[in-house]
Structure 1
């Protein structure tokens, strides 16, 4: 597992900028207002096993495998998962016991 200290800051900045710019203006305004109301300084990073979740406004902004944010060179555009592409039930997506093709019902 890659240590978060090995992350390339430029790749992290690029991922956040790409994810933020992909949001519609109303969503950005809601997230910004949430952060002001709750005293959150902006984007926060939360390691989730092999992935890193970036949160803004109390919701996932991006979720990416930590290895894709290491090393030199540009961030691979296919490497990022912007909030609209993430299932609302992240725990279900990360469930290693999920054996029925994603249908837990």
Structure 2
């Protein structure tokens, strides 16, 4: 990507194209699920250090997916907030069955 993305509407299709392989998305779903469990446990158990574990659990599988499956650079490095939001958006679209339509619109 040569040009800087200036709006989230431009970023979302780019984000999806950077996650074009099913195995990459599966690793993201796994990491997001682990991160959510860690956050819930942190609140339920009143154990703040689990928030740090949530970061490792969420980003670890996602970055493995980028470096070894997609062989690209995680969007988090350039667009951290949009990327975090999009991780959850992709996850919940997947759960809700809406992701295939979004992937199609993005050309995947």
The TM-score with structure 2 as length reference comes to 0.29
The structure with the greater share of residues assigned to strand is 1
Q: Which has the higher contact order (CA 8 A, sep 6+)?
A: 2
The structure with the greater share of residues assigned to helix is 2
